[in-house]
Chain A
Amino acid sequence: MTAPLHALSAHELRAALIGGKASAREIVEAALARIGALDPRLGAFTDVTPERALAKAAEIDAKRASGKTLGPLAGAPFAVKNLFDVAGLSTRAGAKINRERAPARRDATLIARLEAADAILLGALNMGEYAYDFTGENVHDGPSRNPHDLERMTGGSSGGPGAAVAGGLVPIALGSDTNGSIRVPASLCGVFGLKPTYGRLSRAGSFPFVASLDHLGPLARSVADLAASYDAMQGADAADPAQSARPIEPAAPSIEAGIAGLRVARLGGYFARGGEPAAHAAVDRVARALNADRTVEFPEAERARAAAYLITMVEGAALHADRLRTRACDFDPDVRDRLIAGAMLPGAWVVKAQKLRRWVRDRVGEIFRDVDVLLAPATPTRAPRIGQKTFMLDGREMLVRPNMGLFTQPLSFIGLPVCAIPLWSEGERLPIGVQAIAAPWREDLVLRVARALERDGVARAPVGEPK
């Protein structure tokens, strides 16, 4: 084996484990060494759990030694955005206030499921406060930094997951995505990110943000790892009342099926303007690779984004109402001031926004009668500089923090499954992502497309080596 352990995918690590080329302990030690060497500069982790990881590794090594079958993610280190409950840790959700919470008594459901597949938890990851963020900056913990350029943002709010995966600290991380918080860091850090269908994966044991829009999902450097981790996390969970009653529908078995027979179109209108040229050029490149010569319109995309924005402001403010009353000075001011504004908005706006949500869902459902996969930019730009407050889009100066989600927000608004796919143009040292979007419950299709692009070399997620 030539590549170091930290650069291997979860699938390659499992093969190394089964083939006797590395033990689970060696894999964990390599990951801990990588975290020790790079994390002071990346700011990806807020909690590392070496004792727990080494105990799990010992369990896996013993399992292998006794000839038992290893799980599909055997030996794969992973880490979770710090809004997931990790037994023994306070679930900080990026907030100073939450550090006073009692340690979680049990793990979030999705952590338990990955560990049941023999993956190994290495700790909890940095994030924007209370997930109200697209930058990856955190006033309490410092910013997570982009492994491809430490002066650049990771994107957020799953900034730690983006940095940890792109930096080769772990092959898989879990994030949350309310308006784009998996897809934005996936785009800026150059990794694959899956936001599943709303209601697909259990949210039990995660700190909420906007109940109407919250999703959880994985980020990874390979599509096979993304699919395997997603499959391992599927399944009913009575502890999440928002989860839909869907059977387990594994996606991994079909990711090598290629694009033959798939009807792929790009989204026009709202999604074809407003970003920097690189964002739209990335979609051009993917469309060419997939022979997607059709363009379709997403009905009322701008209104959809507006509605998601309002629902987020109001539900977020409602969630934090007591803390705003009693602990206002302990918030990140950038988060607090948006929440305060949200607390002042008329309730009728949100009811109308929720009606519009159903209307848009119905119209988009009609599009999927004769299209299987849609394409759109993931972010309007490559990674901005850390601390940058505004950027120019379409000739207008706009705030970075709320507007990195311009292209992600209308899609999560109606719960569609989306895979963020990383692209690098010739000679460019920062990536940018494209979204592959499918009808509800068709995660398999977006993963198939992502895998076809990865196999053909159009998409890739190299490990960043910070200078």
Chain B
Amino acid sequence: MSEPAFDADALIDAMPPLIGLTPLEGARPAVKLHLEIAVRLARLVVDFPLDDDSEPAPVFTP
């Protein structure tokens, strides 16, 4: 089953009230571009298989 297409404009319309941002129409093309880059990169992260018990590293000790 293929994933539904990501609609950046819909997110840009929906999110500002939730996070308290005033819509900046002039910023829409750039925000959209950055969202699309993030979605492409997120796929690399989200698709990577990790065990349920793998620990995040919020306070990181190399």
Contact = CB atoms under 8 A, between A and B. Distances in A.
Nearest to A305: B41
A340 interface: yes
Interface string B31-62: 10011011001101110101000111111111
Contact of A310 (B11, B20, B45, B62): B45
A309 B38 contact: yes
Contact of A328 (B22, B45, B55): B22
Size class of the contact patch on chain B: 20 to 34
A310 B44 CA distance: 11
A325 B42 CA distance: 25
Interface in B6-29: 11-12, 15, 19-22, 24, 27
B45 A306 contact: yes
Contacts of A353: 45
Given A306-B42, A306-B44, A307-B45, A325 B20 contact: yes
Given A303-B44, A349-B42, A355-B55, A328 B21 contact: yes
B57 A310 contact: no
A415 B60 contact: yes
A358 B62 contact: no
Contacts of A348: 46
A302 B42 CA distance: 11
A392 interface: no
A212 B58 contact: yes
Nearest to B58: A354
Nearest to A303: B44
B42 A361 contact: no
A129 to B, nearest CB: 15
B58 A310 contact: no
Contacts of B11: 344
A341 interface: yes
Contacts, number: 116
Contacts of A305: 41
B28 to A, nearest CB: 9
A153 to B, nearest CB: 20
B52 to A, nearest CB: 10
Contact of B21 (A309, A324, A414): A324
A333 B27 contact: yes
A298 interface: no
Contacts of B20: 321, 325
Interface string A296-337: 000010110111011001000000010011001000011011
Nearest to B12: A344
B30 interface: yes
A353 to B, nearest CB: 5
Given A361-B62, A440-B62, A340 B27 contact: yes
B54 A355 contact: yes
A344 B11 CA distance: 8
A353 B45 CA distance: 6
A95 B12 CA distance: 25
A338 interface: yes
Nearest to A337: B30
B12 to A, nearest CB: 7
A354 B62 contact: no
B19 A344 contact: yes
B46 A352 contact: yes
Most central of B37, B55, B57, B59 by chain A CB within 10 Å: B57
Nearest to B61: A244
Nearest to B34: A341
Most central of B30, B41, B55 by chain A CB within 10 Å: B41
Given A310-B45, A344-B11, A355-B56, A197 B62 contact: yes
A337 B31 contact: yes
Contacts of B42: 306, 310, 345, 349
Interface of A: 197-199, 212, 242, 244, 300, 302-303, 305-307, 309-310, 313, 321, 324-325, 328, 333-334, 336-338, 340-345, 348-349, 351-359, 361, 402, 414-416, 440-441
Interface of B: 11-12, 15, 19-22, 24, 27, 30-31, 34-35, 37-38, 41-42, 44-46, 48, 50, 54-62
The 7 tightest CB contacts between A and B, nearest first, are: A440-B62, A354-B56, A341-B34, A337-B30, A306-B41, A415-B62, A306-B44
17 contacts: A199-B60, A306-B41, A310-B41, A321-B19, A324-B21, A328-B22, A338-B30, A340-B34, A341-B31, A342-B38, A344-B11, A352-B48, A355-B50, A358-B54, A415-B60, A416-B62, A441-B62
